[in-house]
Amino acid sequence: MAGVRLGVEGREDIGLAIARDESLAEVARRLGRPTSTVAREVARSGGRVVYAGRRAQRGADERARRPKIRKLVADAALAAVWPPGWGRGEAAGEPSRRRGDAGERRDHLLREELPRMPTAPHTNASPALGS
């Protein structure tokens, strides 16, 4: 089932199983899915108390819609603290519109177009093998 999205039937099965007070692990086994997939689905749709398959499907459909509203357009507080000089186009999640050698559009983000985010220094804290 990997790579196949959960459909309305699967979401309805989850809702019915929750109503029967079955564990998420039981539901996942029956659907042939990892338990974590079912748990995330239930959590994303309000939890065991309010989960409903059809409503969960509508939410999934809404989340899958394209194009999405850009975060800096939708969130004025985020836009206010966005670092100057990072731009608001490609660095903010817009795909590159550069043309390749053959003139084809490239709709992927190029590594050099992404903002440089500060990161914590990497340390190898894992114990030595064989200890």
Does the pTM surpass 0.75? The reply is no
112 found inside a domain: no
Residue 101, domain member (yes or no): yes
Percent of the chain topping pLDDT 70: 63
pLDDT at residue 96 above 50?
Answer: no
Residue 34 has pLDDT above 60, yes or no: yes
* Residue 131 burial (10 A CB sphere; 0-12, 13-18, 19+): exposed
Give residue 99's pLDDT band: very low, low, confident or very high (50, 70, 90): very low
Exposed e or buried b for every residue in 21-58, given b needs 16+ CB within 10 A? Answer: eeebeebbeebebeeebbeebbeebeeeeebbbeebbe
Closest CA to 87 of 97, 104, 72: 72
Whether residues 40 and 85 share a domain: the answer is no
Side chain identity at residue 4, one-letter code? V
Total number of domains in the chain? 2
Question: Percent of the chain beyond pLDDT 90?
Answer: 42
Boundaries of domain holding 88? 71-106
Q: Quick check: is 15 in a domain?
A: yes
Same domain, 16 and 46: yes
Residues 52 and 84 in one domain: no
Clarify whether residues 55 and 81 are in a common domain.
no
59 and 31 together in one domain: yes
60 lies in the same domain as 17: yes
Any domain includes 21: yes
Is 60 in the same domain as 75?
no
